[in-house]
Chain A
């Protein structure tokens, strides 16, 4: 008997943070413009002590103004998707659930595109206008998960297969709507939008938006974390959990709203990146077990690591060109998914 203690939790989180740090350093180093590791270390230390004026050189601009913000964005997007996926899998009792498969990402994308279409017609200040997209994405995500949940219910309980099929059908329906909406957009917006739909971290964010992303992530992830031990009990079914004192309605509302915030934020800044929310929770479960008090933070770190790595590959494999990061996660994720599926069956 080795129950989880705060100490064991912290040791694991520190270890994962260490891995993330190494990945971030590698991602900073690699790219179309080569950067020496020594120079990078020097600059990082200076940066850490806020001596930005003393940064050596020509490539500090590349590192701190282009690569670092992009990596930070990747960290938040990856962590958001993985935490949302982990909580969906437990709450819906479905190992294949994630924001992408359930159509929640597509719903968020529809919401975001609608916001882009509506925005010129509303006389908003530029600051408010940038926040309209994540708001639209959040509402789109929330409406989709509510719809998929209702479609997936049968005889008062969630039917795994019905739910999954509803999600897949919803996703394809929403994709059709996205194509339709894209035609309304001006051709100027359309090119960027296509890349964004595949998942893309290259667009720099306005300051207020990146602020919203960070605060939103921490609030929503913290809200989901308060349900961690409830999610553990839900693995055995809703009735069982109810008899052990879980307030299922409260857990459902907290998780659906918070996971919609996470998905909405991630989609509004990076488009629909698939497989992260699906696979990272499984990999973390293989390593750390299925106790959500450790699994949720582990998934956050794992998702961050996965997206930063995927984006690093997306930036470098066809350099100086670039792939959408969503194409990269699908290229790596789909075979990995098949492998895990086969392994599970045997």
Chain B
């Protein structure tokens, strides 16, 4: 059998490009009324192997932008192109073969084992009623191995810890053999060790499997440490896109997050944010 990396890497598109071109969106409960929330025209580009972090305070449009990239929302204007094809007009099946989404976990209605869960990632490749092939099983095993979760294979999904579950969910995304991996607050509810584990895994996946990784997060320092590009959003406007060093400016971050803070250069040479001690200190 081929190695895990070879098996999961997307041989088809090693030079994948993601191009978000002036996309905007508006939520409204009633078309006649003014929209409740708008995302103003946002653009960014990413290449295979890059990690893009979308940052911003609550309700700034991070998740909306992620859904637009995933193609599950149709943009009001502009377009999101994955290798030149608009993501929101892809059929669900084709989209699932190219884009994997890791969401904040939703509880399962009936319990299932980790391997059953991971094999679901092969769904976009299966025919109606086709049973899993040897190849599907190998891919699932490799995916579990690649995120360091082989030991969880036969465990029940409702009997493992949050960090372990997050890895299994990531493994399922890998079995989709995507070119674009999207994550919505993957580190939420994880302790610091589990957060670093997960982000290390993402970094590896981006470079070894040549994925484009887009991650929505609240963790300013972890984003600075791991992301190649940062998109900073505030109230539906994309204020800046660029490498961490260009986005992490004290005045800009203070204004966006409404918190006094300082920015310094950390041991890794990347920016690091310190929140001032005080009543708001717990919040960063």
Contact = CB atoms under 8 A, between A and B. Distances in A.
B237 to A, nearest CB: 25
B101 A236 contact: no
Contacts of A246: 92, 123
B93 A3 contact: no
A226 B120 contact: no
Nearest to A225: B129
Given A240-B103, A290-B110, A245 B154 contact: no
Interface in B179-233: none
Interface residues on A, range: 35 or more
Nearest to A227: B128
Contacts of A90: 109
A6 B131 contact: yes
Interface stretch (B15-23, B111-119, B256-264): B111-119
Given A3-B137, A235-B108, A245 B97 contact: yes
A290 B111 contact: yes
Contacts of A94: 109
A306 B238 CA distance: 60
B65 interface: no
Given A93-B109, A242-B72, A247 B93 contact: yes
A244 B140 contact: no
Given A1-B115, A235-B109, A245 B123 contact: yes
A232 B120 contact: yes
A291 B126 CA distance: 15
Interface in B235-277: none
Given A229-B129, A233-B120, A245-B95, A1 B108 contact: no
A95 interface: yes
- Give the interface centre of A244, A285, A291 by most chain B CB atoms within 10 Å: A244
- Give the interface centre of A226, A232, A236 by most chain B CB atoms within 10 Å: A236
B53 interface: no
Contacts of A247: 91-93
B96 interface: yes
A225 B130 CA distance: 12
Interface string A278-291: 00000001000111
Contacts, number: 88
Interface in B103-148: 103, 106, 108-112, 115-117, 119-121, 123-124, 126, 128-129, 131-132, 136-137, 140-141
Contacts of B154: 1
B74 interface: no
B234 interface: no
A153 interface: no
Interface string A1-39: 101111001000000000000000000000000000000
Nearest to B102: A243
Contacts of B8: none
Nearest to A290: B110
Nearest to A293: B129
B178 to A, nearest CB: 10
B177 interface: no
B96 A244 contact: yes
Contacts of A289: 112
Contacts of A242: 72, 92
A216 interface: no
Contacts of A235: 108-110, 112
A2 B70 CA distance: 32
A289 B204 CA distance: 35
B60 interface: no
A236 B129 contact: no
A232 B172 CA distance: 14
B162 to A, nearest CB: 16
B194 to A, nearest CB: 21
A9 B109 CA distance: 23
A3 B114 CA distance: 12
Contacts of B64: none
Given A243-B96, A244-B123, A245-B94, 18 more contacts: A3-B115, A3-B116, A3-B131, A3-B136, A4-B131, A9-B131, A226-B128, A229-B123, A235-B109, A235-B110, A236-B120, A244-B121, A244-B124, A245-B92, A248-B92, A285-B110, A289-B112, A290-B112
Interface of A: 1, 3-6, 9, 89-90, 93-95, 225-226, 228-230, 232-233, 235-237, 239-240, 242-248, 285, 289-291, 293
Q: What are the nearest 5 A-B pairs in CB distance? A: A245-B96, A245-B124, A290-B110, A243-B101, A3-B132
8 contacts: A3-B136, A229-B128, A235-B109, A235-B110, A243-B100, A244-B120, A244-B121, A244-B124
